[in-house]
A = this chain, B = another copy of it.
């Protein structure tokens, strides 16, 4: 496998948009192409992520239209990927694998999603289609339900009173909003307080409104090329040091809802390929779909021992200036979560951090960054380790 790098990256502002998926993807894709100092016709393939386009726009087969929106050549194939919330991360990883293997020299990967116009009830229902539909959905399982259960189990397993855990979960939300307030592309650009989180409406006990990420619209794209090509084209190529992807079955096969075992398997592969360990990561964009999910993730990645990560945000250790900065973009919680675009936006943030281009939310001296995305209720995890 040859060395692979990321050239241009771009994302739309996340939030409520009246634009179509293709309009949003064209903005992100063309900006990523422009930032790569190339033309669309030089790209050899498109790896495109989208989850809910059939419900939202009556549109299947979106990759071909995304290809056309960018003005790519016909001999460059376009392929749609879907892995629930990990959709775009999986697309970027496949791009990295095929460039690394020498099948392509330069490709674009990313995704787009519209979720806000359908309204919260339908968005909740269609998101829940990432859970197992035959046995789980009829029991009323949606994602807030899954992570609400996980929070209760975490509390019980580690003997942390639920009230104490909830205060620490709220600190995760406060920290991610603190970061997001510095991100012009974030869905929510405002700071919040622990008290505000703890006074929110209950969504799925113990999760309150501000423990949950929003439904967002948005798109993101990254150009992936061989390292040789990247060095010729851009000043600061960011290298893909390792990737991982793992699959687990339905939630009812999981032994312990406080640990996403597929993440541990995926990360093991990514760390091994990169030849590094958790102590080497300077900055991480991870899947904080719910506050408890961030706590679970930092433990599975090895930043904290199991049962010891719950107060990392409260201690300031995962905040800008802390020992391992988590979600400097604001994360899914504050930056937003247009599911088919999320992974590519995480890559965009890490690339900009490693280039030192993140302005007031810059992690000083960041050299190695990690992307983590969870798809479904523990069924797909995809990780990408980047280095400057």
Contacts and interface: CB of A to CB of B under 8 A. Distances in A.
Interface stretch (A78-86, A175-183, A294-302, A313-321): A78-86
Interface in A61-99: 61, 63-65, 67-68, 72, 74-84, 90, 94, 97-98
Contacts of A51: 60
A61 B20 contact: no
A40 interface: no
Interface in A262-279: 262, 265-266, 269
B83 A262 contact: no
Contact of A97 (B98, B376, B379): B98
A118 interface: no
Nearest to A55: B54
Interface string A34-73: 0000000000001000011011011111011101100010
Contacts of A46: 247
Interface string A236-277: 000000000111111001000000011001100100000000
Count of identical protomers in the assembly: 2
A84 B53 CA distance: 13
Contacts of A84: 60-61, 64
Contacts of A58: 129, 133, 137
B61 A83 contact: yes
B248 A60 contact: no
19 contacts: A20-B134, A54-B54, A57-B134, A58-B129, A59-B129, A60-B82, A60-B129, A61-B129, A61-B376, A61-B379, A64-B83, A64-B375, A68-B248, A74-B262, A76-B246, A77-B245, A79-B81, A79-B94, A81-B82
